[in-house]
Amino acid sequence: MVISLPRSHHSLTASLAMIALLGSATSLAGAPPGDWQAVVEEARGQSVYWHAWGGDSRTNRYLEWVAERMQAEYDVDVIHVKLGDTSEAVSRVLAEKQAGNDDEGSVDLVWINGENFAAMRANDLLFGPFTEQLPHFALTHPEHNPEVVTDFTLPTDGFESPWGKAQITFYYDSQEIDTPPMSIVELKAWAEANPGRFSYPRIPDFTGSTFLKQALIELSDADQALYAPVEESDFDAISAPLWDYLDALHPHLWRSGRQFPASGPDMLRLVGDAELSLAFTFNPAEPAAAVADAALPPSTRSYVFEGGTLGNVHFVAIPYNSPHKAAAMLLADFLLTPEAQARKQDLAVWGDPTVLDVTRLDDEQAARFEGVEDNPALLAPDALERTLPEPHPSWMEALQDAWQARYVGR
Amino acid sequence: MLRLAPWLIATLLVGPILAGLAMAALPAFGYLPALGGDAFSLDPWRALMTQPGLARSVAVSFTSGLAATVVSLTVVLLFLAAASGSRLDRWIRRMVSPLLSIPHAAAAFGLAFLIAPSGLLARLASPGLSGWERPPDLLIVNDPWGLSLMAGLVIKEIPFLLLMSLAALHQLDAERRVAMARSLGYRPTIAWLKVVVPSLYPLIRLPVFAVIAYASSVVDVAMILGPTLPPTLAVSILTWFNDPDLSRRFMASAGALLQLGVTLAALASWWGLECLVRRLGRGWVAGGQRQRGERMLRLAGKALILLAAATALVGITGLALNSLAGVWRFPDGLPQSFTLQHWQRALPALGGPVTTTLSIAVVATLLAAGLVLAALEHEQRSGRQPAQGQLASALTLLYLPLIVPQIAFLFGLVVVIEALGTRPTRWLVIFGHLLFVLPYVFLSLSEAYRRFDPRWSRVALTLGATPNGAFWRVRLPMLLAPLLTAMAVGLAVSIGQYLPTLLLGAGRVTTVTTEAVALASGGSRRLIGVWALAQASLPLLGFIIAVGLPRLLWTNRRGMRGTP
């Protein structure tokens, strides 16, 4: 049941929590874990309120497709509750727990990773471990792909099921830029030469926060410290080069750094409006998809930095007080089917890379993932090999707070 | 039964607001046992004071509230003074309802696209007039001073104040006053300003207060047009309330009280401004100047309202263009190609929210209309007619939801509801909407109802009809046109509600408004165009029915078709 993983020093409490929660899982599903058919039966007719970031129309359309398939296949009603930020769902479940609502929660499934997962785990807000029960989880082959069971350095311990991958990908208009900057340091020189043509999303947006981490990794020599809780190191000393860098960079940004785009998709709109020339996204396929939608010019090109860019896996998790755990598990499993994963990776649909280990799928299933389009706006296939792992989630919060104290209201 | 109506309305409106305020006040001082706050303390306030940029948030909320009101009121009064009886007057009067029906969020989106450096105006002027090959790097939308926010508020508050003024003007016999002044040699605009405004203003004072309160605490418009580093106070409060760190809810509650204080301060400043204007105005009125400034005032009165109306309409047109645009690169004034793709893709997703929006709006409006009719009928039968604007009436409490900032009491209300263990449902949202729909239906209907010639009912009673019969068979049919208009206003108010839907529905009840605002941070402008247009067209539907139905029903009774 328990996945063998590099365990944190919290493992004892985690195991205790698991045992406690496993009990409730068994009673809820009304069958021993592993009896998947019982879960499918119990799920029939249930509704799943899936709280997921709703800021991207392609993602939303994919979720609509998932809802249709779940209805047709399992008679499960999937309702996408669109969030502006995943923290809203965390806040809601926490408030329900505080109010003593332990089995009638309003969130059944949440799209999550990073600091939000860490926060929910720390407050015992998640149901699990459940991923080993999902028939299709095995296709991710965690023994060969540790990233599907590791979230921002924390082991997932079966409390969240992998769904997709993300990596910071830069894009630009090749008619305008010949040689884009290939590192954080080059980026500053480029911004100085091209004032007002680059920016990053306003913190605490997650894409913007990831830019801070990318810059911090490249600018500091403190790799070890970044992968441990921030309390264990001297934050001011380690982050000092980042603030020097940003202080120097901001005057050359869009709107002279007095205003920032709202989010990753907002940056894409600004590139489409020709306000920005260089931008980045967390979804490697987004620029190519935007070209197909006529939102970006056909001369758009994608790339990653020479030294690699930050990447991570995103997951779905089930709150401990969800009244529809069976249907939520069924949905989490459906998201891992080759059918759903292949459709998600399809550039025409969403373009979010699969978490399945395609090299270990049988031929018929692997065939679904073939046919990578020869699209000039798409990232070179080998580019994603240069992936930098995410720092410990506590760094994200520390960076966000420091950024806001420094740049808000000045 | 009828006797209870005014009290039922007062309880319905006052109860939740007081409960909400109380539950905002307790956590603001550290008391909220559900979250582990067992003792009173000032910690939430200390935490609030250390928030970066708080002073700036407060300053922007305060000034945008006051400035937007000053500008809208000035434009409305100047227009009424300058254009009375002209062709422009008739056109604008016809435009009031459609302009009022454009939801705030849709109008804000339209304005944002109009004035952005890569927006419609810049595109039309480039590169020919401006010489811009690329959008200039100018901070216009989301400017730190809140100017674009104020502009967005002004174009929406003008129709509201105009509607309120037109209703109040019926009591004043403005034409005869102006005729009298003109016989003394005053030019028409000067005459109107000197003899009508002093009597008109007391009648529209409460609506003006409502505008101040709304403008100083608005959330959706501020999210779209307002400053971002930091945002306005109301938007910050929303962020704190949604923070996964629940201890921030104490600080958010303190922020909600601070918002109440900011709004009250804005109202108090307005009161001071009133005194000042009264003193200065008295000298001006008594000075006897009959002509000076007439031309300028006349020009301003017509030009300013035209500018505001045109901005709103062109903004909506821009949204429509976007929703149909294929490739549309910067300096092009129009899209290179048009496509229905965005609508086709959005249609399946539109269905659910449109149905939800309409069902909530219809139920809330029907409830509100029933209560308002009962209260007004009671007023008629008991022979008490409180003059509009008189503070003594119990129904003055109607203004409470319009004057207490939404964000100040809605959070407290959510805490109450969470404590009661009620799960978010559509009924809760309907109830929340009722708080805001009721006052507007009352404001829109009361004037027509009170002016209705009582002799009609008396004739019916003389002919043997019961009071109820007279109501159903005489008064209601004859007042059908204004009733439908009031209901259309109610629908529009409900459709435009953002914060009550979001908070009371816990994100589960999605309406076109919550969807459109959710897209603001990330959606493509084409998709925003689709949603904002859908959002704007729903209330318009209500107004079309309100105008069309009486004409259809009373094809053979011209006097009962209502005035367009």
Q: Answer whether B242 sits within 8 Å of A91, measured CB to CB.
A: yes
Pick the CATH number of B1-32+341-564 from 1.10.3720.10, 3.30.465.10, 3.30.70.80, 3.90.1150.10: 1.10.3720.10
Together in a domain, A30 and A158: yes
Chain B within 8 Å of A292 (Cβ-Cβ)?
Answer: no
pLDDT tens, residue order, chain B (564 aa): 677 877 888 888 888 899 889 888 888 898 877 677 788 888 899 999 998 899 999 999 999 999 999 999 999 999 999 988 788 888 888 888 788 888 888 899 999 999 999 889 988 887 788 788 888 888 888 899 999 999 999 999 999 899 889 888 877 888 899 999 999 999 999 999 999 999 999 988 888 999 999 999 999 899 999 999 899 999 999 888 877 777 788 899 999 999 999 999 999 999 999 999 999 999 888 888 888 888 999 999 999 999 999 999 999 999 999 999 888 888 888 888 898 988 888 888 888 899 999 999 999 999 999 999 998 888 888 776 554 444 446 667 888 888 899 888 888 888 788 777 666 678 889 999 999 999 889 888 887 888 888 888 889 999 998 988 999 988 888 888 889 988 998 999 999 998 899 888 877 888 998 888 877 766 678 888 898 889 888 998 888 888 888 888 887 777 776 654
Residues A299 and A324 in one domain: no
For residue B111, give every residue at least 6 positions away whose Cβ sits within 8 Å of its Cβ, in sequence order, or none: B148, B151, B152, B155, B225, B311, B312, B315
B243 token code pair = 């923070």
Closest-CA residue in chain B for A269?
Answer: B524
Mark yes or no for CB contact A274/B118 under 8 Å.
yes
Give chain B positions within 8 Å (CB) of A57.
Answer: 345, 519, 523-524, 527
Same domain, A341 and A261: no
Residue A342: enclosing H or E segment and its boundaries?
Answer: helix A338-345
* Residue A114 Cα, gap to closest chain B Cα (Å): 13
* Token pair 């003007």: residue: B169
What's residue A101's pLDDT?
A: 81
Cross-strand pairs, B32 = B37
Q: Answer yes or no: is A6 within a domain.
A: no
Count A/B contacts: CB-CB distance under 8 Å: 145
On whether both A270 and A354 belong to a single domain, the answer is no
**A134, A179: one domain:** no
Query: Whole domain around residue A327: which residue ranges?
Result: 11-164+313-374
Which among A56, A78, A98, A115 is the top mutation candidate for probing chain B, defined by the most B β-carbons within 10 Å of its own β-carbon? A98
Compare CB distances from B135 to A90, A259, A275 and report the shortest one's residue: A275
Domain ranges in chain B?
1-32+341-564, 58-333
Give the pLDDT of residue A14.
42
What is the tens place of the pLDDT at every residue in B91-139? 888 888 788 888 888 899 999 999 999 889 988 887 788 788 888 888 8
pLDDT of residue B395: 65
Compare CB distances from A98 to B34, B55, B521 and report the shortest one's residue.
B34
- pTM tops 0.90, yes or no: no
Establish if A381 belongs to a structural domain.
no
Q: Within a domain: residue A398?
A: yes
Residues A192 and A63 in one domain: no
Q: Is A380 part of a structural domain of the chain?
A: no
| B19 inside 8 A of chain A by CB | no
Q: A128-157 burial, b if ≥16 CB within 10 A, otherwise e?
A: bbbbbbbebbebbebeebebbbbbbbbbbb
| B419 contacts chain A (CB < 8 A) | yes
Q: Are residues A305 and A317 in the same domain?
A: no
Please report whether residue A40 resides in a domain: yes
Do residues A20 and A98 both lie within one domain?
A: yes
Q: Which residues contact B33 (CB under 8 A, 6 or more apart)?
A: none
Do A91 and B522 count as a contact with CB atoms less than 8 A apart?
no
Does A1 fall in a domain? no
A71 close to B (CB below 8 A): no
Number of domains making up chain A: 2
The verdict on a CB contact (< 8 Å) between A85 and B53 is no
Is residue A215 a contact partner of residue A296, using CB atoms and an 8 Å limit?
no
Considering the domain architecture, whether residues A24 and A159 belong to the same structural domain is answered as: yes
Q: Which fold has domain B58-333?
A: MetI-like fold (1.10.3720)
Q: Is A61 on the interface with B (CB under 8 A)?
A: yes
B522 with A264: Cβ contact below 8 A: yes
CATH number for the domain including A80?
A: 3.40.190.10
Does residue A358 sit within a domain? yes
Residues A292 and A225 in one domain: yes
A402 plus A282 within the same structural domain: yes
Structure tokens at B345: 């893709």
Residues of A in contact with B521 (CB under 8 A): 55, 84, 262-263, 265-266
A286 in the same domain as A241? yes
pLDDT tens digits, B494-539: 999 988 998 888 778 889 988 888 777 666 788 888 988 898 889 9
Please check whether residue B455 is in contact with residue B219, taking contact to mean a CB–CB distance below 8 angstroms.
Answer: no
> Residue B521: what pLDDT?
65
Report the 3 state secondary structure along A344-397.
HHCCCCCCCCCCCCHHHCCHHHHHCCCCCCCCCCCCCHHHHHCEECCCCHHHHH
| Chain A residues 183-212 with CB within 8 Å of chain B | 195-196, 202
Q: What is the pLDDT of residue A13?
A: 41
Distance of CA B255 to the CA centre of its chain: 23
Q: Do B1-32+341-564 and B58-333 fold alike per CATH?
A: yes
Per residue of chain A (410 residues), give pLDDT as tens: 333 333 334 444 444 444 444 434 433 443 445 589 999 999 999 999 999 988 787 898 899 999 999 999 999 999 998 887 888 888 888 878 877 788 888 899 999 998 899 989 988 999 989 999 999 999 999 998 888 999 988 999 999 999 999 999 999 998 889 899 999 999 999 999 999 999 999 988 889 999 999 999 999 887 789 999 999 989 999 999 999 999 999 999 999 999 999 888 889 989 988 899 999 998 888 898 888 878 888 899 999 999 899 999 999 999 999 999 999 999 999 999 999 999 998 888 888 889 999 888 888 888 888 765 667 888 776 777 788 889 998 999 899 999 999 999 76
Asked if the structure places residue A5 within a domain, the reply is no
Check CB contact of A90 with chain B, cutoff 8 Å: yes
The dihedral built from the CA positions of residue B197, B200, B202 and B206, taken in this order, carries a sign that is negative
